[in-house]
Structure 1
Amino acid sequence: MKLSDLTARARRIRLVLTDCDGVLTDGGVYYSERGEEMKRFNIRDGMGVERLRNHGILTGIMTGEMSPSVRTRAAKLRIEELHLGIKDKPTCLHEILARTGLTAEEVAFIGDDTNDVEILGLVGLSACPGDATSFARAVADFHCQTAGGHGCFRELAEFIIAAQAVNE
């Protein structure tokens, strides 16, 4: 897709949704001897959430996991849409659209694997981390250079902010 087409799509975005594992994290999972799961998040991605909020763009996490660490991270970042344990991401997207009055063209989604492929095809701007699977890369509009867990969400956020600044 041409940069001018990507920029036009990015100008319409009012909500950025993200998968968690492999996007906000590097896909690694840590367990202590007590079995508690921990995830590593990138601070720059958190700044991406804040910058989007400051530009009037909502954010959300949509993940199949039920991890308490994701809930904690979302609360710290004041993420507006948190959807844990989601196995059917397209249905969740349609519920969000119905509740918020947004259209699919006003939503961006960034995902990295096969469980994200369907929703990547439904939104106005789809993206994937630089190290996404070939399945996600094949359908995503915007391919981040940055890997999952290393600032790819921030890269997408900055692209959207810059595209919308052209309209100001």
Structure 2
Amino acid sequence: MTPAPEKKPDRRPPYQHAADELRREIKQGRFKPGEQMPSVRELQDRFGVANMTARSALNVLRDEGLIYTIHGRGSFVADISDGASEFSAEYTAPAWYLAKKSDGEQEQGGGEGEPDDTAAGSSLAELLTGLRDEIRELSAEHQELRREVEALKKAQQSQS
């Protein structure tokens, strides 16, 4: 009999292993949209990695649009059920939008009155990013309020 072939060592960095495991759990539904992810400290303990390694794993998931972070509160699972977790950073606004200038805006074009597609597209992308972040913060606050309401209902039921 021939011995079983040796398994090749996985040479990916530890943060990739952690990100892969968390990604799998999110896609399997262990973490629901709006639910808070484990803290960096909990991830350190779970995966046996350093603080920066755990943060890097979360950064990978954030870059993929699977989670979002609210400063001082933590990381939360994004709602990816619509199939589009992030808009493209290379997004260019449609021609009708670029042609339409509000009265207070200065022409950003490169001469001859033509609009600068990249400047308008990036400003729109910045606006969309800001709106997306606001929606995510509101969603996290909504989830927190729902939990508080449930706790109050349970307390009221136990008093009755």
Q: TM-score, normalised by structure 2?
A: 0.25
Say which one has the larger Rg.
2
- Of structures 1 and 2, the one with the larger relative CO (CA 8 A, separation 6+) is 1
Q: TM-score, normalised by structure 1?
A: 0.24
Structure having the larger proportion of residues in strand:
1
